[in-house]
Amino acid sequence: MRFSVLTIIGHAPNPLTGELGTAAERLAEVIETGAAAERLGFDAYAVGERHAGPFLSSSPTVLLGALAARTSRIRLLTGVTVLAILDPVRVAEDYATVDQLARGRLELVIGKGAEAGHFDLFGLDEGLQWEYQAEKYELLRRLWREEKVTWEGKFRPPLHEVTTVPRPYAAAPPVWHGSATSLHSTELAARHGDPLFSANAIQPRDAYARLISHYRERFAVYGHDPRNAYVGAGSGGLFIANTTQQAITRLKDYYEARVRQTYKPHLAGRTGYNTPFRTIEDAIGNGPQLVGSPQQIIDKILGFHQAYRHDLQSLTVDGFGLSTTEQIEQLQRFAEEIAPVVRREAPTTLWQDQRT
């Protein structure tokens, strides 16, 4: 198993105290935590993209560039790049620049995003989101693999012999497809032989297992080697305590107040937008949260692995109102007490070879 740390850079008032740090402080926390993740031996650090709601992740390329300057080994991922609302030419340019700064350590995770509001913000029809995604990804693939690209599609002006610069550092960066609720993402990933990243967030585990199973079936149908059907999985917040009860006592009020704070009534009934795990006990027992004793978290990740056979586990430490110091302490404890056991019990060939 490989491990990635994800931030979507939430920036909402503390639901219990109302306190809210500055944007500059929050962004500095992201960079500091990413540098710590490398020191502690994590395999990847991911920055999300949001254009609606209380987040500071509208410009992930800027943050990934800063992280590239502070790190030398760890892979830098997105989580996700909302390709459906972006111009593939600009995506090719911006992320190739980051890839150059990171000397080939960049990987994209593309998806439609978890905020419905960004389509209106960019003047786009949400009903066409999957058509946007498919067409824009096809163009992005060509721009990173070819020079003098001539292309015509439905959603942007045609191109004639265009070569985007800079070129990627060594080869086209790997692209994962974020999958939360729809077979569109799994189908697109399978068609191109790309890896899949399951949200594993706010649906029951069986829902994600079905999407992953569909991906693997279609991956083989398209003639790709099943050994290359790599899968990543998200999770809820990480909080390690000596006992489950200690964790519940520390987090209960905060978690349940945050659930109330983030509830989106206009999206009630739409899959993937509001968590059904409204108490900390339910989130620990049935949801994606990695909360409890080290052994409990080991068992939960291995339970995910039994259902998904995934290769990459993502985790988040900035969702429970912890200070930067506390977040890094959580990462250190995970690296020392949990990661070695899970790596041994769930081996993978992911990232063993150089990019080709």
Number of domains in the chain: 1
How far, in Å, CA of 136 to CA of 117, rounded? 20
271 domain residue, yes or no: yes
How far, in Å, CA of 112 to CA of 253, rounded? 31
How far, in Å, CA of 143 to CA of 138, rounded? 9
∠ CA(129), CA(105), CA(179), 5° rounding? Answer: 30
Q: pLDDT tens track of the chain, all 356 residues?
A: 999 999 999 999 999 999 999 999 999 999 999 999 999 999 999 999 999 889 999 999 999 999 999 999 999 999 999 999 999 999 999 999 999 999 999 999 999 876 767 889 999 999 999 999 999 999 999 999 999 999 999 999 999 999 999 999 999 999 999 999 999 999 999 999 999 999 998 888 999 999 999 999 999 999 999 999 999 999 989 999 999 999 999 999 999 998 888 777 777 777 767 788 889 999 999 899 999 999 999 999 999 999 999 999 999 999 999 999 999 999 999 999 999 999 999 999 999 964 43
Q: What is the pLDDT of residue 114?
A: 67
Q: Which residues contact 226 (CB under 8 A, 6 or more apart)?
A: 216, 219, 220
Q: Note the pLDDT tens digit of each residue in 294-327.
A: 999 999 999 999 999 999 999 999 999 999 999 9
Nearest to 291 by CA among 321, 251, 231: 251
Count Cβ atoms within 10 A of the Cβ of residue 344 and give its class: 0-12 exposed, 13-18 middle, 19 or more buried.
Answer: exposed
The answer to whether the CB of 338 falls within 8 A of the CB of 298 is yes
224 domain residue, yes or no: yes
Count Cβ atoms within 10 A of the Cβ of residue 270 and give its class: 0-12 exposed, 13-18 middle, 19 or more buried.
Answer: exposed
351 domain residue, yes or no: no
Provide the domain limits for residue 291.
2-345
355 domain residue, yes or no: no
∠ CA(163), CA(122), CA(102), 5° rounding? Answer: 45
How far, in Å, CA of 312 to CA of 299, rounded? 16
The answer to whether the CB of 312 falls within 8 A of the CB of 339 is no
Cα Rg of the chain (Å, integer): 20
How far, in Å, CA of 13 to CA of 240, rounded? 24
Interaxial angle between packed helices 88-101 and 129-145, expressed in degrees from 0 to 180 and rounded to the nearest 10:
50
Nearest to 173 by CA among 99, 232, 102, 121: 99
- HSE on the CB side for 15, CA within 13 Å? 18
Q: Which residues contact 45 (CB under 8 A, 6 or more apart)?
A: 4, 5, 6, 33, 34, 37, 38, 67, 71, 74, 75, 76, 77
Find the CATH number of the domain harbouring 65: 3.20.20.30
84 domain residue, yes or no: yes
Q: Note the pLDDT tens digit of each residue in 250-261.
A: 999 999 998 888
350 domain residue, yes or no: no
Amino acid at 218: R
204 domain residue, yes or no: yes
354 domain residue, yes or no: no
